[in-house]
């Protein structure tokens, strides 16, 4: 299993400001026949984040790149307050 780390900036629906979050994305390689690698496509994931101004939770939907042979198995985020986001992942359709 491999992981990526990246930054995302979200418009907060609670306070109207922009907040930076760090995402840690775990991916698992799926074995396919030679030459069967598919193109990257966008997949939606809904996560819970915390507004550092109001200390309240809000949902945001992220579109992350995924291939059928490189599946996203988990997404974790750090809230700007430093408290890890531990809400369960919910995939969108």
Per-residue model confidence (pLDDT) at position 73 = 81
Q: Residue 3: its pLDDT value, please?
A: 61
Please say if the pLDDT value at position 89 is more than 60: no
Q: What does the angle CA 6 – CA 90 – CA 32 come to, to the nearest 5 degrees?
A: 70
Structure confidence by residue, pLDDT tens digits, 25-70: 888 887 766 555 566 678 888 988 999 899 899 999 988 888 777 7
User: With contact defined as beta carbons under 8 Å apart, do 51 and 11 qualify?
Assistant: no
Q: Residue 9's beta-bridge partner residues?
A: 20
Q: What is the pLDDT of residues 5-26, one digit of tens each?
A: 778 899 999 999 999 998 888 8
Q: How far apart are CA 5 and CA 30, in angstroms?
A: 20
- The residues spanned by each domain of the chain are 2-91
What whole-number distance in Å separates Cα of residue 11 and Cα of residue 52?
A: 12
CA distance 9 to 90: 19
Report the pLDDT value the prediction gives residue 79, as an integer from 0 to 100.
Answer: 62
Contacts of 63 (CB under 8 A, 6+ apart): 42, 43, 44, 45
Read off the pLDDT of residues 71-87 as tens digits, 9 standing for 90 and up.
788 788 776 544 444 44
């Amino acid at each position: 299993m491999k992981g990526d780390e990246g930054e995302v900036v979200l418009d907060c629906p609670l306070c109207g400001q922009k907040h930076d979050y760090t995402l840690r994305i775990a991916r698992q390689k799926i074995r396919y026949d030679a030459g069967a690698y598919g193109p990257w496509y966008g997949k939606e994931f809904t996560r819970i984040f915390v507004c550092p101004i109001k200390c309240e939770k809000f949902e945001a939907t992220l579109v992350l790149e995924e291939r059928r042979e490189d599946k996203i198995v988990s997404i974790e985020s750090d809230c700007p307050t430093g408290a890890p986001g531990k809400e369960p992942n919910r995939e969108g359709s």
